């Protein structure tokens, strides 16, 4: 399902409509007064943790919920050490009740870990995106999976517009000229264009009426028309590697691609080859496969790329929203109340449609 529009220079507004989803429970709801072991996995902010009071999504500040949890008698453990058999997270898998993670430093919840987690009831994503969890295994084990739907929609939408403009205006080479003490206007201008009048392709059919886009049923019909393609979809078995050499070949030569969805939606080698040949004129995004990206990841060294670490959805404003949303779901969990329907990813053994 696609929508595309010709950019007219008018103000752009991005929106996202939450999808209904589902869940199951190893008796999800906590008994009143029952102490729970909650483990949070976040990245370390180190010296930056104290530079902004709203920097909540890090180990040091732990979503700002430590005092609240401990005052109610719950145990709250946070770590950034999440991989390998001897990591800190692995030590707590057997007896934790709730695991909180973020898309920016995800704790990979495999079927093996779920099998070991005898007390586990609830998997929360502080943010949006639960592909770091084996959802089939979670549903089979009667677990609940939920995320803070909508918490970073504005943050990611603004970031995507910025990336479109960075690619369209050939900004990165210009910036590099300044840093390197150079001055070559022609070396920037020959690949710089206005966004006005260009066709942008994305994947939200609801946008058709909202912003005057033209809905296109078939992806193969849409791609050849687009000057810019923006990816907004979850990573599933259906979308993994979806944009391979064949799919990229259907796009306009020199197409610009912005991907803040998931890196694995793209065929990594196909992207590199298309960038080198000029089939893709520019590629920008903040998602990688694998993530965190190793130093030798080929996307780091592609021509005409404007990549960053996974940052688009973790602005200070977004952190306030997803920290509050996580606390709200924990509070409902302790009280035995349901979450907002759109926050469920697995409920009652049913996986949300967008992840099927």
Q: Supply the residues annotated as catalytic.
A: 152, 262, 291, 310
Going from the C-alpha of 59 to that of each of 71, 108, 325, 336, the distances in angstroms are 19, 17, 18, 28
Q: Please tell me the distance from the alpha carbon of residue 187 to that of residue 173, in angstroms, as a whole number.
A: 8
Alpha helices for the chain (secondary structure H): 66-71, 88-92, 111-116, 135-140, 153-168, 171-179, 186-189, 207-211, 219-222, 245-249, 268-277, 316-335
Q: At what angle do helices 153-168 and 171-179 cross, to 10 degrees?
A: 80
Contact 124, 146 (CB under 8 A): yes
User: Which candidate, 162, 174, 232, 164, places its Cα nearest to that of 203?
Assistant: 232
Distance of CA 183 to the CA centre of its chain: 37
Q: Which tokens go with 10?
A: 């008018």
Rounded to the nearest 5 percent, the helix, strand and coil shares of the chain are 35, 20, 50
The edge-to-edge listing of strands for the beta sheet with 37-41 is: 75-79, 37-41, 98-101, 122-125, 144-147, 344-347, 350-351
Q: Please tell me the distance from the alpha carbon of residue 58 to that of residue 65, in angstroms, as a whole number.
A: 12
Q: Please tell me the distance from the alpha carbon of residue 92 to that of residue 121, in angstroms, as a whole number.
A: 14
Q: Which residues pair with 223 in a beta bridge?
A: none
């Amino acid at each position: 399902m696609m929508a595309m529009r010709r950019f007219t220079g008018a103000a752009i507004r991005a929106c996202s409509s939450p999808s209904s989803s589902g869940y199951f429970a190893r008796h999800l709801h906590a008994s009143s007064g029952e102490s729970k072991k909650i483990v949070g996995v976040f990245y370390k902010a180190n010296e930056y943790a104290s530079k902004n009071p709203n920097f909540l999504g890090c180990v040091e500040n732990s979503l700002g919920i430590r005092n609240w949890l401990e005052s109610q008698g719950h145990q709250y453990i946070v770590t950034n050490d999440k991989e390998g058999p001897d990591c800190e997270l692995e030590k707590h898998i057997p007896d934790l009740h709730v695991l909180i993670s973020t898309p920016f430093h995800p704790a990979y919840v495999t079927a093996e870990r779920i099998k070991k987690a005898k007390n586990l009831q609830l998997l929360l994503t502080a943010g949006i995106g639960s592909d770091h969890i084996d959802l089939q295994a979670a549903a089979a084990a009667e677990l609940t999976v939920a995320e803070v739907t909508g918490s970073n929609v504005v943050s990611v939408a603004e970031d995507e517009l910025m990336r479109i403009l960075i690619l369209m205006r050939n900004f990165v080479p210009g910036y590099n000229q300044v840093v390197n003490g150079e001055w070559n206007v022609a070396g920037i201008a020959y690949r710089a264009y206005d966004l006005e009048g260009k066709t942008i392709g994305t994947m939200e059919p609801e946008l058709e009426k909202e912003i005057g886009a033209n809905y296109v049923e078939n992806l193969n019909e849409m791609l050849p028309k687009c000057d810019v393609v923006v990816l907004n979809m979850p990573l599933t078995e259906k979308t993994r590697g979806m944009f391979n050499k064949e799919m990229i070949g259907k796009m306009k030569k020199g197409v610009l691609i912005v991907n803040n969805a998931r890196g694995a939606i793209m065929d990594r080698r196909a992207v590199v080859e298309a960038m080198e040949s000029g089939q893709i004129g520019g590629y920008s995004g903040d998602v990688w496969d694998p993530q965190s990206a190793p130093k030798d990841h080929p996307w780091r060294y592609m021509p005409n790329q404007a990549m960053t670490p996974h940052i688009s959805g973790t602005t200070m404003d977004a952190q306030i929203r997803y920290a509050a949303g996580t606390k709200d779901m924990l509070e409902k969990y302790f009280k035995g109340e349901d979450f907002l329907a759109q926050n469920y990813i697995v409920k009652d053994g049913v996986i949300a449609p967008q992840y099927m």
